[in-house]
A and B are shown apart, each in its own frame.
Chain A
């Protein structure tokens, strides 16, 4: 055995250093964990100040011992390279680990250990943690809004049908593949509209009519997001092309449109759509509040989508335009087959960004009296029987939105990989 030099751990005594280092790190984490979970201090015999800093010192020394370059152990090298390159990094790593351990108990006890989910009145919630009973009781409202309970199967069926129809693209048949773009861009939205119009709204085929004011909750979030996403994309695309057009009229109209919608806050747009807009319409002309809101949000987001797509168009080299033109393609053929496929591929991250923002903007439709999931939460939290559970509601909404947005962001990432043919 070679002589140990504790200032410079070397590979010859790797075992000694490793065991020593791991032992010290273990002690330091144990100390913090015991402190966090059981509120005990095993180093209380030491002076206050030293006792407080001891885990950090022990951990840093431990990490110093295991910092051996080219140890030949894959995970150790990885760890050293990423979070243990020098003493400063080691301290930061430890502080973060300690912070997580310290915050875990409070988090766990609020979320799970002291939380209540049994019972069905406020009185059941006696613990100090979260009152999930509140979510359980109101869950139906959070999902379906004021939609009559006995008719909720209509929403379920149309959503299941829409999800099923969305998977048509996965069918292996070659015949169908030719029409996929047409299907997703035109046919699918039309089917969606018909389903929602006849099944959820009702009023025909012996189905009771349910006014849109009664729609709400998560299902309304989905409906609004879905149609806004579908409408704002093509509008944004045409605006982007229009802004780059050689025809001055088209260009100025596009610029004006984009700058107008980008310049006003969404909340005022929604307010205008419900209050001002009907004043300009003939008296016998009726347009549903929900439809007006969807149009307003679509146009608003289209302006953002347009600028994102324009970024993609500008990123394409001029040679692509030259090549397409030299083959005799006109404006539309050139854009449909050569320019847009490449530009859109480039801006998938930007589009995903805009779409995520759109989904998270939907709660603003409360200003016109439509209550999607956050709106329903706000309503429920002011219910006299259930006062004081706003926290649970917002946490619940945050989780739901996070799941939706994470799924979208994952999907956009997959698209990026799928269409990667170069670079």
Chain B
């Protein structure tokens, strides 16, 4: 196996006095799909937000694609350009059209010529099946369409890793499927993915490994089959019995 693309060692994070992450150790290899689950407030979101430093960790090391995350702004920006992220609330830019949402970062961060960026964006929008909405504004789209646009926007930076922070939690049930389909396609194309989600069906279908977190700690980490078939930890068993 190759070197891990993400390597987290002894990472701790506090919000004020409250410790959200305790001694996290995690290695993610290239092309692997990891699903992170756990009760709310267990630090799942904070963990993946630390990977592209939307949150700062206070102790331990995080190495993404050979670069350690430190105060160095240049490094952080370089890593962020390689790590795509999809948010629970979509966070599209409401003042820009769908197409402009997708081309903004490639043009201004990667200095891609505008024409190439637009071609790439249309290709990505095609992939998530909203190419016909390209000229519209985010406010005119449904939640599912917005989230798919957010995935396309992240992919336009041609990232090596994709982080998903509860991408379907803010969606109506009938829209969840279209977003999950887009994510499954992406997984099949070989993207390295870390997905925080409660969609256990999705986990069973695509995940290589499932991580269960509780109270800021990784309680259980196992191959998908083992995780669902015979969870070892009592807390995991309880969680699974409630969610399945």
Contacts and interface: CB of A to CB of B under 8 A. Distances in A.
B94 interface: yes
A342 B87 contact: no
Given A422-B94, A422-B95, A323 B108 contact: no
A338 B153 CA distance: 14
Interface string B97-111: 000000011001110
Interface string A337-380: 11001100100000000000000000000000000000000000
B93 A326 contact: no
A346 to B, nearest CB: 10
Contact of A328 (B80, B87, B93, B139): B80
B52 A345 contact: no
A172 interface: no
Contacts of B167: none
Interface residues of B, number: 31
Contacts of B94: 342, 421-423
A330 interface: yes
A211 interface: no
A245 to B, nearest CB: 14
B73 interface: yes
Interface string B44-60: 00000100101000000
Contacts of B93: 320, 323-324, 338, 342
A325 B91 CA distance: 11
Given A421-B95, A422-B95, A326 B139 contact: no
A177 interface: no
Which 9 residue pairs are nearest across A and B when measured between Cβ atoms? A328-B81, A422-B139, A327-B105, A323-B91, A319-B91, A326-B85, A422-B94, A328-B80, A328-B109
9 contacts: A317-B89, A320-B91, A322-B87, A326-B52, A327-B81, A327-B109, A327-B154, A338-B104, A423-B94
Contacts of B137: 421-422
Contacts of B87: 319, 322-323, 326
A333 B108 contact: yes
Q: Which of B49, B85, B110 has the largest count of A CB atoms less than 10 A from its CB? A: B85
Contact of A322 (B78, B91, B95): B91
Contacts of A337: 104, 108
Q: Which of A323, A325, A338 has the largest count of B CB atoms less than 10 A from its CB? A: A323
Given A421-B137, A422-B138, A327 B95 contact: no
Contact of A421 (B85, B105, B108, B139): B139
Given A329-B108, A342-B94, 13 more contacts: A319-B91, A322-B54, A322-B85, A325-B52, A327-B80, A327-B104, A327-B105, A328-B110, A329-B105, A337-B104, A421-B95, A422-B94, A423-B139
A422 B93 CA distance: 10
B43 interface: no
Nearest to B106: A327
A347 to B, nearest CB: 14
Contacts of A26: none
Contacts of B157: 327-328
B92 A323 contact: yes
B71 to A, nearest CB: 11
Contact of A329 (B49, B83, B109): B109
Contacts of A422: 94-95, 137-139
Contacts of A23: none
A419 interface: yes
A326 B95 contact: no
A326 B80 contact: yes
A71 to B, nearest CB: 39
B98 to A, nearest CB: 11
A341 to B, nearest CB: 5
A395 to B, nearest CB: 43
A55 B104 CA distance: 67
B77 interface: yes
Nearest to B153: A327
A342 B94 CA distance: 8
A419 B95 contact: yes
B38 interface: no
Q: Which of B95, B108, B137 has the largest count of A CB atoms less than 10 A from its CB? A: B95
Nearest to A322: B54
Interface string A270-310: 00000000000000000000000000000000000000000
Contacts of A341: 95
A377 to B, nearest CB: 44
Given A320-B93, A423-B139, A326 B77 contact: no
B143 interface: no
B158 to A, nearest CB: 11
Interface in B66-91: 73, 77-78, 80-85, 87, 89, 91
Interface in B4-34: none
B104 to A, nearest CB: 6
Contacts of B109: 327-329, 333
